[in-house]
Amino acid sequence: MSGALPTSQGGTLPSVVALVPARGGSKRVPGKNIRPLGGHPLLAYSVAAARRSGVFDAVVVSTDDEATAAIARHYGAEVPFMRPAALAGDLSPDIQWIEYTLRQLRDDGRPYDCFSILRPTSPFRQPETIRRCWAQFLASPGIDSIRAVEQVTQHPGKMWVIHGERMAPLLLHPQGTPWHSQQYQALPEVYVQNASLEIAWSRVALEGGTIAGATLAPFLTMGSEGVDVNNQLDWLVAEELLRQGQANLPAVDEPPYAPPANPEGERL
């Protein structure tokens, strides 16, 4: 997309904050949000893409970990307050930390009309990706949110549920040839969400208690924009995509982060 972003119906752009979730705990890949990829911690690329997009009034990292906070600040993000441990567990739903963050910012005199979630596990998301999504969000009156999706590679029409020693299709075809017996090309197009990004009006979280609302628009990611890095196999795929030049990371202006040294001169 080139040129100025479209304005809202009132003629001015709504304010929007980028929220980058980066809690310290991770079971599948320990420390994944700050694990190096392509010379920088994974977190750096979401911060860089957000800042370079020119979309956001602020880029805020939500973390419960001081080391992660230091890295976020190094790359130009704000960490105005730490996330409470109670909101940073493995089973903590997103709405908890999002609502907490938006309320804290509002109480500090910084209310925002909209928020966007930019997860560090989508390092190939580009500034242009964000600009394209923001323009579509502004051009879609009546929606609560917009969410990144991509076409499925494993169709649910081919999936089964096992009950003891028997199984049944996950999705029942209303009539005719069952979906599980049809060619893939004959199946209805189905899309799955990815972690690349989502944008919503703040009222959806603060008043509705949800990050998505009831009326959503699809944002179709292209190429590697929606690649999600969450486990060791994902890391190997990401590194191979980079090695083969099939994916690019957002440019990062800051030098690679180096942890501070302790009084004995050793890196902490």
CA gap 228, 56 in Å, rounded = 23
| Mean pLDDT computed over every residue of the chain | 91
The pLDDT tens digits of the residues spanning 156-196 come to 999 999 999 999 999 887 778 888 888 888 888 999 999 99
Nearest to 79 by CA among 57, 58, 106: 58
Average pLDDT over residues 138-144: 96
Average pLDDT over residues 205-226: 96
For residue 155, what pLDDT band results from cuts at 50, 70 and 90?
very high
Check residue 26 and give its pLDDT: 66
Helix (H) or strand (E) holding 46: helix 42-53
Q: Which residue has the tokens 């600009």?
A: 131
CB contact at 8 A, 97 and 64:
no
Q: Which domains does the chain have, with CATH numbers?
A: 16-150+191-243 (3.90.550.10), 153-189 (no CATH)
Q: Is the dihedral of CA 9, 10, 12, 16 positive or negative?
A: negative
Check residue 210 and give its pLDDT: 96
Kindly report whether the global pTM for this prediction surpasses the value 0.75. yes
User: What one-character-per-residue DSSP string does 110-130 give?
Assistant: ---SEEEE--TT-TT--HHHH
How many residues does this entry show for the chain? 268
Question: Is residue 242 over pLDDT 80?
Answer: yes
Check residue 29 and give its pLDDT: 72
Question: Is residue 64 over pLDDT 90?
Answer: yes
Task: Record the tokens describing residue 250, joined without a space.
Answer: 């957002």
CB contact at 8 A, 68 and 43:
yes
CB contact at 8 A, 41 and 23:
no
Pick left, alpha or beta for residue 224 (phi over 0 → left; psi -120 to 50 → alpha; otherwise beta).
Answer: alpha
- For 8, other C-beta atoms within 10 Å of its C-beta total 14
Question: Is residue 268 over pLDDT 70?
Answer: no
Percent of the chain with pLDDT over 70: 91
CB contact at 8 A, 34 and 61:
no
CA gap 193, 231 in Å, rounded = 17
CA gap 21, 96 in Å, rounded = 12
Name the phi and psi angles at 33, rounded to 5. Answer: -65, -20
The pLDDT tens digits of the residues spanning 74-109 come to 999 999 999 999 998 887 899 999 999 999 999 999
Check residue 265 and give its pLDDT: 53
Check residue 264 and give its pLDDT: 57
